[in-house]
Amino acid sequence: MLDLTDANTIRAGVFGVQDGIVSTFGLVMGVAGAQVSPEAILIAGFAGAFSGAVSMGAGEYVSVKVQQELLEARGLTSDGRVHPHRAAAANSGLFVLGAAFPLLPFLVSVGLSAVLASAALSVLALFGTGAVLTRLTRRSPWASGLRMLVIGGGAGVLGYIVGSVLGVAVG
């Protein structure tokens, strides 16, 4: 049976994996759109994945601690069922996993083929994450997968557009 501790850890993990996919996809698409070297795309992607995971884990830890302190200040208790370390680990660990999907194609390919493969893998990862979660939520896999895809999908397009505009403006 799923309890509050598990639900909070899953929530943190879902946030991490979605943000890992979306922010890394947006970043690498932006850098790719600026027409820079394949090495620059990988450096930016890995730096973004690492710093994003650290930031997300730290933010998750602090936010859970603040939530506990707010409850305690009002005479309420979380009964110790929400663990900041566990939420931070799930968030940052799954951020790195999510970041791998948009980065992998740039390790084996360059140019338009890497961009298209990154987009395809990111779309599949977003939809797949939403669909798999329905094993826990008992919702429609299609609805949940599409929700995750639609909410997360625009970042890559926006990142590519911004990178293309900046690449032309700066270059």
Separation CA 102–CA 122 (nearest Å): 6
Domain that holds residue 103: 4-170
Integer Cα distance of 168 and 153 in angstroms: 24
| Structural domains of the chain, count | 1
Per-residue model confidence as pLDDT tens for the chain (171 residues): 667 778 889 999 999 999 999 999 989 988 888 788 999 999 999 999 999 999 999 999 999 999 889 988 998 876 667 889 999 999 999 999 999 999 999 999 999 999 999 999 999 999 999 999 888 888 999 999 999 898 888 776 777 777 778 776 665
